[in-house]
Structures are given as structure tokens and as C-alpha cells.
Chain A
Amino acid sequence: MAQNETAHAPADDVGGDTEEFDPIGTLTLIGIYFVILVLSWVYIYYIEFLGRDLVVVG
């Protein structure tokens, strides 16, 4: 998808500094995925794993 969009971009946007292509939806989606990943990791590692009894220390 991204390749197609960049492939025809040079036709009207050769300089590339003016950001006409503005995939705010994709950015939001990635942002949401990112937050889910971070929260899951915090839960799995810091709460479930480190919070349990008998942490193996050696």
C-alpha cells in the first residue's frame, strides 16, 4: 500500500518537503497498537511475572 502511494508521489511532489500525503488514520492505528503492546508488556512482565511468588533468583 505504502509503495503504491509513494510510487506515484514524485509526479506531483518531487521536492518531498510538502507533506500532502497525510495518513493520519494509519498513524492513529499504529499508535493504538503501540499503546496495547506497551500496556500488555507492563502487565505481563511487571505485574504477572515479577509480582508472583517465588521469583527465581539463582
Chain B
Amino acid sequence: MHIHAYEKIWLATSVLLILFLLGSVTYGAVGPGVAMVSDTEPTIDAGALDEDERFSEPRVEQVGENEYAAYVVARQFGFQPDPIVLPANSTVTFYITSADVIHGFEVAGTNANTMVVPGEVSEITVRVEEPQEYGLICNEYCGAGHHVMEGKVNVVSQAAFEERTSGGDGE
């Protein structure tokens, strides 16, 4: 079969393009470590969140050196805790669940974005850097008050975070 020289060129470049796209995604996974929302969390009873060890009291807690876990409950129409206060330069894993209907959890303007499904726990781990205040919005229509469902994620300095936890959390 005769294949025109130009056709060979654009066949080869299309193959290169595909390899480049796949290579980028591979690089993203290996280099910066981009990952998907984890689906390894077991299901929970959305109707009994107040009896759940993690979600009865939505909070941010330290789980390792510079590692924090944020347990977040989304419900009509808001997020708990609000604001979610995180220390700068740390790794934070969000465990988010819903108490009623499907919600969204999107830290506005960032890649932290997941669906929040009742009965499921969405787990995303992010690296937070400088102190900054982010907006938090629900991006799945969840009812009449969907448009007012918002929260805040405040990244504060380590010192401010420690002061806050030692001051407010004295049990």
C-alpha cells in the first residue's frame, strides 16, 4: 500500500501527541504526585453522624508530624466546621461526608474539589502552603438554599494554629 509522505508525517505526529498527553498525566502522577479522590473509605450511616466518632464533632486534628485530618460534614446549607482552620505548610487530609443529600466540596480556585455523597466519605489529601483565606462552596445543586451554601478554609500560620487549638480546645 502506498502511503503519501505527508500522511506518514501526520500519522507519526498524532501518535506523538497521544504519547505526549499520556506522558503528561504520567508525569503529573509521578512528579507532583497528583492523585484521584480516594474511594477506599468504607460507607457510613448518614443518618447517624452524631454517633460517628469522626463526624459527630467536625474538626481539624493533628495526626502526625505536620499532618492533619479535617473531618467535615456538609449539610443543607453549610459546612461544619466553619471556618475550617488549617496550619500553613502542612499536609491535610479532608474526610468529607454529607448528612442529607449530595453536596459538592470545592475550595474555590483550587484543585481541591470532590462530590460529597451521603453514606460515603470522600477523602482528599492536599498540601497547604502559605497562610491564605479560601472560599469553600457547594457545587452540586442540593436544594433551595444551594446558592448560599458556602464556607471558609483559613490557612493560618503554625503559631496562630497552635494558639487557637490550645486556647479553644481545652477539654
B residues apposed to A, CB below 8 Å: 2, 4-6, 9-10, 13, 17, 20-21, 24-25, 28, 32-38, 91, 93, 107, 109-112, 123-129, 132, 134
Contact = CB atoms under 8 A, between A and B. Distances in A.
A54 interface: yes
Given A16-B2, A19-B5, A49-B111, A54 B126 contact: yes
A53 B111 contact: yes
23 contacts: A19-B5, A37-B17, A38-B17, A38-B20, A41-B20, A49-B28, A52-B111, A53-B110, A53-B129, A54-B107, A54-B110, A54-B126, A55-B34, A55-B111, A55-B127, A56-B111, A56-B112, A56-B126, A57-B32, A58-B35, A58-B123, A58-B124, A58-B125
Interface of A: 16, 19, 21, 23-24, 26-27, 30, 34, 37-38, 41, 45-46, 49-50, 52-58
Main SS class of interface, B: mixed
A49 B110 CA distance: 9
B97 to A, nearest CB: 17
A56 B37 contact: yes
A45 B21 CA distance: 9
